[in-house]
Structure 1
């Protein structure tokens, strides 16, 4: 069983082309990434509103797109794309998926996956930052 961590993209980005791991600059993303790495997962991927599923090493240009501004049908279509991308790197029924992503990024993915962990479910952004700080300083 693989352990896959999925982190949502954020709006705060560098203004130049670089790897997905480096382009997102918010403290929430950085803390999520640090926590994700501490789990020693099989893989870490970013859920990008523009690109779908990104490897940390994928080179991308800055963009301005978020699921928060998409309607339900657009988010469902985005989720179908991500599910197809996930199928190429994971077994959706047997692998474990840890979500470090908000509800809009995970809602329509959850129905396609069997083994799910959402460690910060229900926490607001400030609470997530506190939780991540505590986890990352253990």
Structure 2
């Protein structure tokens, strides 16, 4: 029987504004230093799974090919962010055990506010940090 400490987490990484200009796998579409560092940190955790939280697509597998887009939760109304979160939770329910899996949420407040409360075991190591402080924290974690 696995103890809680040896469970591999599921990492959820928010999308970012900087993107390649051509259709790409989700893991390659987002180009900002912050996204790249979040991905590096996620890999260090040896996760069971990594998903991207896309403002347009909801929950994305890393290898899903998508077109570049311009959409963010940062300027969406509360109802729209709640609806987006409902869609992400529905997608997670198809792939994960929301009660027993451990989640690491690497996302800003607008992406996490309606997700985190619905995950039984969630950590948000960068919660409350500005973008610059997130990058600094990630650099420290990744020993850069």
Whether the TM-score (by the shorter chain) exceeds 0.5 is yes
Name the counterpart of 2:36: 30
Name the counterpart of 2:136: 130
Is contact 1:3–1:43 with CA below 8 Å preserved after alignment? yes
- How far apart, in 2, do the equivalents of 1:102 and 1:4 lie? 17
Aligned-pair RMSD on alpha carbons?
1.0
Q: Secondary structure at the match of 2:118?
A: coil
- What do the CA deviations read for 1:86-109 (whole angstroms, capped 9, x no partner)? 001110111111011001101111
Is contact 1:100–1:118 with CA below 8 Å preserved after alignment? yes
- How far apart, in 2, do the equivalents of 1:43 and 1:25 lie? 20
Residue 48 (1) aligns with residue 47 (2): no
Residue 101 (1) aligns with residue 115 (2): no
- What do the CA deviations read for 1:50-99 (whole angstroms, capped 9, x no partner)? 00000110100000000001000000000000000000111011111101
- How far apart, in 2, do the equivalents of 1:2 and 1:34 lie? 16
Give the C-alpha shift of residue 45 in structure 1.
0.3
Residue 80 (1) aligns with residue 86 (2): yes
4+ residue runs of structure 1 moved beyond 6 angstroms? none
- How far apart, in 2, do the equivalents of 1:2 and 1:112 lie? 19
Aligned residues: 138
Gaps of 5+ in 2: 1-6
Gaps of 5+ in 1: none
Give the C-alpha shift of residue 2 in structure 1.
5.0
Give the C-alpha shift of residue 111 in structure 1.
2.1
- How far apart, in 2, do the equivalents of 1:130 and 1:93 lie? 32
